[in-house]
Structures are given as C-alpha cells and as structure tokens.
Structure 1
C-alpha cells in the first residue's frame, strides 16, 4: 500500500470539459487500482499551499473574470519522485496559462514566479519505484492524448489526504 503524505492549505485547480474529464478519470482510476493508490479528480493545479484564508472566495471570483474556456496542449508523459507528481502529463506553458498563474499568485500574495510553475496533470499518486512508472508510460502514450479543454476553475481545500480534499467553489468560464 502506498504511504500517503498529507497536504496542507487550499489549491486552485483547472478542471476540464466532461469528455476530457471522463477520459482522464478512467485512466486515473485504472492506474490507481493497479498501484493500490488513492484516486482523485483529474485537474491541473494552478496554485497550491494557499494558507491565507482572508477573502478566499472573493479573490477566487476575481481570478475567472473575462476568462473563456481554453485548450491545454499535452507535450509528454513524465514521472518524478514527488508523491503528488508521480506520473503525469506535461502541459505546454502557453500565454493564457502563464497569465492565469501570475494573476493567481498576485491575488493570493504568493512569492512564486514563472520558473516555479511546471504545469502538469497528475495521473497517479504513488511512492512506487521509477521502473514501475516507466513500465506504464508506453501504455499511456498509446492513448494518444494531445490536448484537453479547461472550462472551469475550482477552489479546493487540500487538507489531509486526497479522500479528505473538498471543493469549496467551482466557477465555469
């Protein structure tokens, strides 16, 4: 069984149109079953570890002003030793994404810059070794995932483990 580290704070997630969400959820659930790891909703974390609770919802509403649904290009499948980024789809850092990240950082008094932002969509949370992760990359590549469409943004309370996480608000673009 995978040892699950606990997360802290709040996160801003980009969420996908139903068709893309279902396709990714099916893949995530399959991998979670195979690796006996926690399941989670498909998302791209725009900003995490937000600790300041003041006007959390008001600031979140400002984030989506004048924003339309947009596409994200998938540029590869990678793995790392970070639990919450074990196996993931690498996402192109396009202008919309960069601007949205910078706006989120400024709204939530963050100190991150664009160099700290590595957009990705996690497919698996695990502490398994790299060889096991490498073995499933080929299978995922065969799905030929090239892009996803973002149509909403959610504010998530990411306290504890994935089954404890909860959505506070979700706004459609």
Structure 2
C-alpha cells in the first residue's frame, strides 16, 4: 500500500501504567478467542484517505493546543460491530467533543465523521455470551476510574485494513490543560 492510497486514523493513547495493563488484557482476550490483538486506544477519527505527510503536518499544528484528556470509564459495553464488540465506555466531556470537531474540520476527508462515541475496545470480533460475561467481570474494576491520554497518534489503519497491519506512524505529545488552547 502506498502512502497516497493508505487510510489513516487519529488515536489517543492511554498513559502508563494503564496502557500496559490494558494491553495485557487485550492480548489475553485475543489469545483465548483467537481474535486479533491491537494497541488499546481511543479513536478520534478513522478511515482518513489522505497522505501521511499532510495528516502529520495538520496534527503537528493542532497537538500543542489539544489538552491531555482525563476521561472516566463509565461502563463496560457489548456492541454488535466487529470493532466495538466489547469495550470500555468513556465519558465525553465537552472539551473532548470540541477537539474531535476541530480535527474533523481540519481534515477535509472527515467532513462527516459520524457520531463520536469515546471508548477503548478490549476485543474485536464476535464474542459468545459466556466470554462476554467473563470479560465483562474482568473489566468491572475499571468502572469509575480515570484514564489519562497525553499522546495523540497517527496510525496506518482502517476498517478494511487487517488489524495485524496497523502501524503507529507518528506520535504527538499533548500539553496539560493549562497550556492548551481548546
């Protein structure tokens, strides 16, 4: 896949030590269910058909003004789509919605990004009821906790790109709220 035809996503990555804890769980759930493993993340925008260089330039301009995000885990949710089969539901404060909207407007390919639903997926693909229950119980401890996101990532990924081929290409540090403009 060439740079001109690739699809990209913009993610927020959870900070340590939570990132490592979530990664271990994602890997274990994937191993047990023969599902793809992936890096835990919150997708701000996905399936962006643009050049890597242009996206990186836009994100590097916006990142210094986007504050680090502290989001509360509000529940463990089961969904019916491949990428949202079981996930940690996150709060969506107005500032996070504003960040997502600003980035969507800055990237013409996302003129209509769809409904924003902040979450961190824990497994992809169809999951049987007994596995859902088992994973749900394992993830209950996160409900009410705060996840901090201090890094934005440009990722080669899309709904049609095999998960094994996803690749973090560039990372942007997000400032503390007091240093941000949004």
Q: Smaller-chain TM-score range?
A: 0.7 to 0.9
Q: What is the alpha-carbon distance in structure 2 between the residues aligned to residue 167 and residue 26 of structure 1?
A: 18
Structure 1 unpaired stretches of 5+: 1-7
TM-superposition CA deviations, 1:54-93 (whole Å, max 9, x none): 7221111123122332211110000111111111000111
TM-superposition CA deviations, 1:23-58 (whole Å, max 9, x none): 111111121111111111110001001112272211
Aligned-residue CA RMSD in angstroms? 1.9
Q: Which aligned segments of 4 or more residues in structure 1 are displaced greater than 4 angstroms?
A: none
Q: What is the alpha-carbon distance in structure 2 between the residues aligned to residue 142 and residue 106 of structure 1?
A: 36
Which of residues 48, 51, 60 is equivalent to 1:50? 48
- In structure 2, what is the equivalent of residue 4 of structure 1? none
- In structure 2, what is the equivalent of residue 112 of structure 1? 112
Q: Report SS of the residue matched to 2:80.
A: coil
Q: Report SS of the residue matched to 1:32.
A: helix
Matches within 5 A, 1:23-172: 23-53=21-51, 55-109=54-108, 110-112=110-112, 116-142=115-141, 144=143, 146-158=145-157, 160-172=161-173
Q: What is the alpha-carbon distance in structure 2 between the residues aligned to residue 157 and residue 55 of structure 1?
A: 13
Q: Which moved more, 1:65-74 or 1:33-42?
A: 65-74
Q: What is the alpha-carbon distance in structure 2 between the residues aligned to residue 68 and residue 136 of structure 1?
A: 31
Q: Report SS of the residue matched to 1:155.
A: strand
- 1:130 shift after superposition: 4.3
Count of residue pairs the alignment pairs up: 165
C-alpha contact 2:72 2:144 (8 A) present in aligned 1 = no
TM-score for both structures, normalised by structure 2: 0.82
Structure 2 unpaired stretches of 5+: 1-5, 175-182
Q: What is the alpha-carbon distance in structure 1 between the residues aligned to residue 121 and residue 8 of structure 2?
A: 17
